[in-house]
Amino acid sequence: MIADNKIIPILNELENSNLQYPWHIRVLRLESKILKTNPLTIKMVYSQELPDTANNLHSIINDSTVIQYKWNELGKTLVGDYSKLSKAQMITWYLQDNELLFINSFHSRLRNMLNDSLVIRNATLDYLNKVKNAIHNKSH
């Protein structure tokens, strides 16, 4: 948007995110596609997985959603209607150090994975242990 001869950003949304094991402790993929421009409607297809010790991947989430954006005059931004994902969950696809946000926003799914088969349970415990060790190493 242009106001007072300045460009003002009105939306910050991921187009594509892809990070694979072994470069990261989680495998994540997200792809966005604009379906309509008025009102702005974007379809996102996304997944996150945890590897086990044999490098087999176990799904945390594998889904898609359609987000429609509405203009917020007060904030001068587009605001998305996130029905399937919260904004916090959405941010976990950003390629940055956000493991604690990921654990907090997907805690129910991770807890369920701890009650799953031994292989999925061990993959989940291994992931949580790696996060704990990384946090511990940063503080020292």
Distance CA 110, CA 102 (A): 10
Q: Which residues contact 5 (CB under 8 A, 6 or more apart)?
A: none
SS3 125: helix
Question: What pLDDT digit, counting tens, does each position of 42-98 carry?
Answer: 999 999 999 988 889 999 999 999 999 999 999 889 999 888 888 889 999 987 788
Contact of 34 with 42, CB cutoff 8 Å: yes
| pLDDT given for residue 131 in this prediction | 95
Residue at 73: amino acid letter: E
Full residue range of the structural domain in which residue 82 is found: 2-139
Distance CA 35, CA 73 (A): 23
CA atoms within 13 A on the CB side of 100: 5
Tell me the pTM. 0.86
| pLDDT given for residue 61 in this prediction | 96
| pLDDT given for residue 53 in this prediction | 86
Distance CA 93, CA 16 (A): 9
Provide the domain count of the chain: 1
SS3 17: strand
| pLDDT given for residue 5 in this prediction | 85
Tokens of 97: 């150090």
